[in-house]
Amino acid sequence: MSSRNALFGLIILAALLLPGAASAQMVTFIKIIDGDSLLVEAGGRSMEVRLIGVDAPEFKQEYGLQAKEFSLKFCFGHKLRLEFDKELVDRYGRVLAYVHRGDKMLNREILEAGLAIAVRIKPNIRRYAAFKAAEQLAVGKKHGFWKQGGLRMTPAQWRKAHPQKRRD
């Protein structure tokens, strides 16, 4: 993401989180990028959102398409609510959030479906224990990629083995 877009993301977030702003930020879904990233619209501008606490297979990785389709089905046609943690933006300028649709949270739902793994990335660790429990539920019920015992490579290992230049 360009530094201009990253700056815009920070400005939007600052406006959303100013004193007096609503505690829940409603956004409009635009599209799914992959299982753990989506594009939303807030304040007339689009921004990329990265799910906190989960790592889904990359699009070209095994189960990557299933993870992307799961997130699309969760989000399509719905208003979404973003909930933030301590760190608001990652090094790529993506907004870091827990993504809610009504009383369901995409971050937890994709873990329970066995289409992502729980990851602990400080300082956004408030829900890590619950996410690890959701992952263990999927393991026990053999949901998603857990029916084959897991992924051959974690998404992080796959990205390292298949480097790709990020688009700005």
Active site residues: 50, 58, 94
Distance CA 29, CA 131 (A): 23
Q: Is the separation of the CB atoms in 151 and 135 below 8 Å? A: no
Residue 59 structure tokens:
């699009």
